[in-house]
Amino acid sequence: MNIFPYQSEILVSPLQPGKIKSRLEKVTLNVNFLDIEARKAKGHVFNGVILENTFRLSLFIDKADSFLPLIKGSIEASEMGSILFIEYRLFPSSIFFLAFWSLVTLLMAAFFGLTAGQPLYAFISFLVGLGNYFFAWSHFRRKTRRSQLIFHELLETEIKD
């Protein structure tokens, strides 16, 4: 089991790797966040980078979202099409803050429980940390499901090349 929110899947597609890459390129913008005009461009579903057999994507959003998954994938050719190995995980900055606040609340619980002799405060600190952790997991799962639906739809629908 992973400590931080993570999900993976393997997809089998009848499309060839080049066709999948082409579809991804049509709906993905390699965005420069300092270029406001490029960020306003419509028609893109994902931000990210697409290389020969790998990609790193996230949903195109208008406002910050700490629980948005980073989609890392690789495409391998097979006799019947392609196999996609996909991982969904939090962005590194979100992982850092989740770890930081989990550690802070755990240390507060230890301090109140062992040093200050305040078991109620220790229990409250522990519950706040646990609540924060489960809140992050539940929102990550919800955002991951949304990303998966869009990604799966992209592979299934016909797009004129």
Largest CA distance in the chain: 68
Nearest Cα to Cα of residue 72 among 153, 140, 6, 154: 6
CA–CA gap between residue 71 and residue 59 (Å, rounded): 9
User: Global pTM?
Assistant: 0.84
Give kind and range of the element (H or E) at residue 86: strand 81-90
Contacts 24+ apart (CB under 8 A), 118-126: none
For residue 39 the two structure tokens come to: 């960020």
CA–CA gap between residue 56 and residue 24 (Å, rounded): 11
Nearest Cα to Cα of residue 78 among 12, 131, 161: 12
Spell out the domains of the chain, with CATH numbers in brackets: 6-94+130-156 (3.30.530)
Tens digits of pLDDT across the chain (161 residues):
688 999 999 999 899 999 999 988 888 888 765 555 655 566 678 888 999 899 999 988 878 888 999 999 999 999 989 999 999 999 999 999 999 999 999 999 999 999 999 999 999 999 999 999 999 999 999 999 999 999 888 888 644 44
Which residues have a Cβ under 8 Å from the Cβ of 17 and sit 6 or more positions away?
53, 75, 76, 77, 82
Which pLDDT score, from 0 to 100, does residue 36 have?
A: 57
State pLDDT tens for residues 34-72: 555 655 566 678 888 999 899 999 988 878 888 999 999
